[in-house]
């Protein structure tokens, strides 16, 4: 079946512009995660959605970052007034049993964001 998909695969934007990144999780997966990897850094947790529960936003680096998940499926990560330090690869992952840490996550191919 289809895996996790993300769009766009690459995005170049000017500093100060807003961007939207999209994630389509695996059908039926209740949990959805956003991570990012900045140059030379590890994978950094951003936000987590589980079913209809309120999302865990504890990893969002600033109030310029927000995310939503519509209908328990597709998610959009929005970055407002982008800064150069926002340049990174943004990864989305979904999991069948997201609340339990013993279930593996399935990652999308990522969106490479470059802020000029």
Partner 1 sequence: ILNVEQSPQSLHVQEGDSTNFTCSFPSSNFYALHWYRWETAKSPEALFVMTLNGDEKKKGRISATLNTKEGYSYLYIKGSQPEDSATYLCAPPLEEKLTFGTGTRLTIIP
Tell me which of 48, 86, 90, 111 binds partner 1, using CB under 8 A. 48
The rounded distance, in Å, linking the Cα atoms of 99 and 102 is 9
Q: Are residues 2 and 105 in contact, defined by beta-carbon separation less than 8 angstroms?
A: no
Is residue 96 near partner 1 by the rule CB under 8 A?
no
Q: In Å, how far from its chain's centre is CA 75?
A: 8
Tell me which of 55, 56, 57, 72 binds partner 1, using CB under 8 A. 56
Segment near partner 1 (CB under 8 A), from 10-18, 63-71, 78-86, 94-102? 94-102
Q: Which residues bind partner 1 (CB under 8 A)?
A: 3-4, 33, 35, 41-45, 48, 50, 56, 58-59, 91, 93, 98-99, 101-110
């Amino acid at each position: 079946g289809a895996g996790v998909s993300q769009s766009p695969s690459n995005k170049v934007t000017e500093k100060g512009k807003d961007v939207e990144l999209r994630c389509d999780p695996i059908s039926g997966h209740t949990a959805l995660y956003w991570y990012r990897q900045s140059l030379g850094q590890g994978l950094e947790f951003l936000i987590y959605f589980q079913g209809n529960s309120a999302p865990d936003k504890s990893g969002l680096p600033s109030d310029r970052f927000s995310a939503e998940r519509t209908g328990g499926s597709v998610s959009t990560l929005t970055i407002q007034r982008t800064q150069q330090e926002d340049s990174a690869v943004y990864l989305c992952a979904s999991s069948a049993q997201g609340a339990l840490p013993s279930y593996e996550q399935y990652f999308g191919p990522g969106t490479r964001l470059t802020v000029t």
